[in-house]
Structure 1
Amino acid sequence: MKKRKQENPIEEVSDYMSSPVITIPETNTIKDAAEFMHEKQVGSLVVVNGKKPVGIVTETDFARKVVAKGLDPKTAKVGDIMTTPLQTIDCHESVLDANKLMAKKKIRHLVVMDKEELVGIVTVHNLVHYFSNPRIRTF
């Protein structure tokens, strides 16, 4: 009897997301956010109200929403420039679904949730890692 070739299991978003997620309260200043991003060496922060994720702020937001509009980073709040509504994906969805959603929405970051809990973030960088690994490519 011939053995069937086993198909690759579906890779879940949770296998490629970055975790823990670095967050910042929406009431912090833009200056605080920029310093925190520099300190943590990240390009984005998930913005929270309490523990609930409500938006995202990225390096691009600083250029397009702070510098271009002449906002004062010492007084303007993260909530003033965050991107909202926040785009999320369930941690058990496939990496391919995350890629499709990011392409459709033209975004570079997806917040990963497990029910109502923030568990990670998947970025274009994470997807590059996935698609550049020949061991898992099935297309």
Structure 2
Amino acid sequence: MQVFQILEGKTIDTIYSIGENNTVFEALELMANKNIGAVLVMDGDKLIGIFSERDYARKVILLGRASRDTLVGAVMTSKVITVETDQKIEDCMQIMSDKHIRHLPVNKEGKLVGIISINDIVSAIIREQKAHIKSLESYISGSPL
């Protein structure tokens, strides 16, 4: 299975983003309203960072900063790891595991087209495994799918 298949299966294809000059509080509001764990930081069409719950915990709360006064650009992760639509989800899972991240922005031909989470990958793998099991059960029992 490849990344584009996960993106096709997502019910929401909106990319939620915020600017580096928005406050952390505004980013948190967006994340809470959309029930997401990370938001992309954009400068126009250019991806310049990602802000996650982990960034908030480690770079705002633990350092005693105020979310209403702190700009996203000051605490975002600026070295964003991205993947391409044709990458295998197993590769994405390995990247996430190795880098200790939960979200991967997705590019197609150099253009940002979406974002996938570890939950998206795990759900896709589970669906794929269930389909394999059903197919094998059908084969063994001799009944059609």
TM-score tier, shorter chain, comes to 0.7 to 0.9
Letter in 2 for 1:15: Q
Total equivalences in the alignment: 127
The runs of 5 or more residues in structure 1 that have no matched partner are 1-10
Q: Quote the offset at 1:20 in angstroms.
A: 2.1
Equivalent in 36, 39, 57 of residue 33 of structure 2: 39
The aligned runs of 1:1-139 (5 Å cut-off) are: 11-17=1-7, 18=10, 19-133=13-127, 134=129, 135=131
Q: Quote the offset at 1:136 in angstroms.
A: 5.6
Detail structure 1 runs of 4+ shifted over 3 Å in the superposition.
Answer: none
Conserved? CA contact 1:65–1:81, under 8 Å: yes
Cα distance change of structure 1 residues 136 and 119 upon mapping to structure 2, 3 Å threshold: farther
Q: CA RMSD in A?
A: 1.5
Q: State the match for 1:4 in structure 2.
A: none
Q: What TM-score comes out, normalization by structure 1 length?
A: 0.84
Residue deviations 1:55-93, cap 9 Å, x none? 111112111111110112112111111112000001111
Letter in 1 for 2:97: A
Conserved? CA contact 1:20–1:119, under 8 Å: no
Higher helix proportion, which one? 2
CA distance in 2, matches of 1:125, 1:48: 23
Cα distance change of structure 1 residues 136 and 58 upon mapping to structure 2, 3 Å threshold: farther
Q: Secondary structure at the match of 2:80?
A: coil
CA distance in 2, matches of 1:91, 1:12: 7
CA distance in 1, matches of 2:6, 2:132: 12
Conserved? CA contact 1:14–1:120, under 8 Å: no
Q: Secondary structure at the match of 1:60?
A: helix
Residue deviations 1:114-135, cap 9 Å, x none? 1221111111101110221222
CA distance in 1, matches of 2:2, 2:132: 12
The runs of 5 or more residues in structure 2 that have no matched partner are 134-145
The sequence identity of aligned pairs, in percent, is 31
Conserved? CA contact 1:55–1:85, under 8 Å: yes
Higher RCO structure (Cα 8 Å, ≥6 apart):
1
